[in-house]
Structure 1
Amino acid sequence: MCCLTMRDMFFLLENSFGLEKAVLKKLLAIYSGILCSTMSMLAVQYLYRYWAVFDTTKMKYFEGWKVIFWFLFSAILGSLWISGLVFYANPAEDSIQYFREEISVRYKRNIEELPSLIMMPYHPVDGSIRWSAWDLTFIQTIISSVQYGVMIFCGWSMYTKMDQTIETMSKNAKQLHQQLFKVLVIQLAAPTIFLLTSLSFIIYLPFLDLELSIPTGSLLCSFTIYVAIDSIIVMTVVKEYRKSTRKLLLDSLIKLQKWLASDNGESGPKTTTFRMEQLDKI
């Protein structure tokens, strides 16, 4: 569950698995950090494709043991995100008191019994600035700027240089690079819609100091949806991936048909004929 007031941000994780509240609180921060690492790897993917087309000499940084650097890059940004939440979003007593009635009315629960992370840009009583929330927002803004800065730079550079670069390539290579470029464009739009927009709404709206209360569970769900959508984008746009996916699906159907045929006492040639007919259509 997650509740957002336009003055304060509140994350609430249902107590489950029989774990202690302190452990669940850290798991909530880790979950958010994993999403940050996912975005970092997407930025690395943009850089890889940019260098693969326009600066092949730098591809050596993706070979052998050097690939570990990119995993460390993703892990470091994710760790910074987690650390920021753990150190700066730990609920203070006045924060708990402020949300007590809200959680009791909306969720019928006692906030002190539930693991939570709270970011309050302003003090609930006198309205003074709480610098811990501003520090956390600064960290998150820097991390997000690095990720999207890399993606936007690589995406725009590929857009402006693509036609000139692929002129000397073969027809198949041109087609593949054009498909990969389409993937990059869609992959930039998808996280913007499902991640950046939702994240910006949750992080920055409390700084407007408005007295509103909005459940944001649907926004948090969009974070999880993006992971599946990113894979679907690649499989549907790139022809070779689409073929591989269809063949994998067909193989699964063939195995299922063989299993059903064996149960019914049928022979195998019909299954083989079905497979060849389907492969001819791909």
Structure 2
Amino acid sequence: MSGSYLYLVSLAQKVGKVAFVTSSLLGILFIFLTLFGVRKIFGTYKYLMVVFSALGIFLACLDAVFHPNLHFYNSGYVFFTLKTPFGLSQTCMTAILTLYTGVYSLTISMLAVQFVYRYCALFSLSYLSFFRGWKSVSWISYILFFGIIWWIGAYYLIQMDDICANYFKNEMLLRYEVLPTEVPMMMFLAFDPSDGSVRLWNASYTLLISSIMGIQYITMIYCGWNMYSKMEEKISGLSTSLKRHHRQLFKTLVLQVVSILSYS
């Protein structure tokens, strides 16, 4: 049996294109219905949902066009693409790979913001002022902050160096029939293979992205659990239609988390 993964890469690219078309059509339909068809969703939350859907479409577009791949090998991994569309240079493609990580961070952070909004709508109405008017800059700054620092972190902390290139050389030749220097690639290697010492830049990247993901998921878990456990008591005095409305919005948030996890 061949050790090449090129067939799997080709299959993943085809699946990615189908996923892009499907998610784009559904996303555009969702945005249209949210803006013009659904009357019960209004105000800032409507636009939060639209922004989240747009980010999802953009992320799927990047995936379909540039086909990023993640390959794990022993104590490290490589993040690369075998495609260079539009005649882009290797340097430009490497920058796009890091941009992809930033957009992913934006998407996760945007989902956390939606949880915070729904939590405030149920339990802390006064804090909804941060989602209106000029105060909206607070949540916009929140998602941009995490998107930018993940992007910058990927660009500077997991650059290819000679140690990584030599470590992954044979693996890349075996699995993808390319040398590390021939394709756009970011590399992570936890330990120096020569002496076993920790590679601090790469370790810093792990700490960075773990912190970002931890903040977002802790936020979602905290808000989600409180909504799940206390929502019925909070909405007990509302009309039947409003109760149904709040329950549907909560279920939508949960489904969005599942979709992001499955995409990841």
Q: Does the 8 Å CA contact 1:95/1:124 hold for their aligned counterparts?
A: no
Match of 1:69 in 2: 138
Which residue of 123, 148, 156 corresponds with 2:225? 156
78, 81, 84: which one aligns with 1:13: 81
For residues 222 and 176 of structure 2, what CA distance do their matches in structure 1 show?
44
Q: Give the CA RMSD over aligned residues.
A: 1.4
Output the amino acid matched with 1:74. I
Counterpart contact for 2:111–2:257, Cα < 8 Å: no
Match of 1:29 in 2: 98
Distance 1:105 1:9 in 2: 15
Asked whether the equivalents of residues 130 and 139 of structure 2 are also in contact (C-alpha less than 8 Å), the reply is no
Q: Which amino acid aligns with 1:21?
A: Q
The alpha-carbon deviation at position 68 of structure 1 amounts to 2.4
- 4+ residue stretches of structure 1 with deviation over 6 A? none
Q: Which runs of 5+ in 1 are unaligned?
A: 195-221, 224-282
| Inter-partner Cα distance in structure 1 for 2:233 and 2:71 | 50
User: 1: distance between equivalents of 2:244 and 2:182?
Assistant: 57
Which residue of 151, 172, 175 corresponds with 1:106? 175
- Cα distance in 1 between the residues matched to 2:165 and 2:118: 47
Amino acid at match of 2:183: L
Which residue number in structure 2 is paired with residue 91 of structure 1?
160
> What amino acid does structure 1 have at the position aligned with 2:70?
C
1:167 is paired with a residue whose SS is coil
Question: Which structure is richer in relative contact order (CA contacts within 8 A, separation 6 or more)?
Answer: 1
Q: Partner of 1:4: helix, strand, or coil?
A: strand
Aligned residue runs from structure 1 range 181-260, under 5 A = 181-191=250-260, 193-194=261-262, 222-223=263-264
TM-score normalised by structure 1 residue count: 0.66
| CA deviation map 1:217-262 (0-9, x unaligned) | xxxxx33xxxxxxxxxxxxxxxxxxxxxxxxxxxxxxxxxxxxxxx
> Which of 189, 192, 200 matches 1:131?
200
Query: How many residues are matched?
Result: 195
Check the 8 A contact 1:30/1:82 in 2, yes or no.
Answer: yes
TM-score, length-scaled by structure 2: 0.70
> Unpaired runs of 5+ in structure 2?
1-68
> Which residue identity is paired with 2:213?
S
- Higher alpha-carbon Rg: 1
1:4 aligns with 2:72: yes
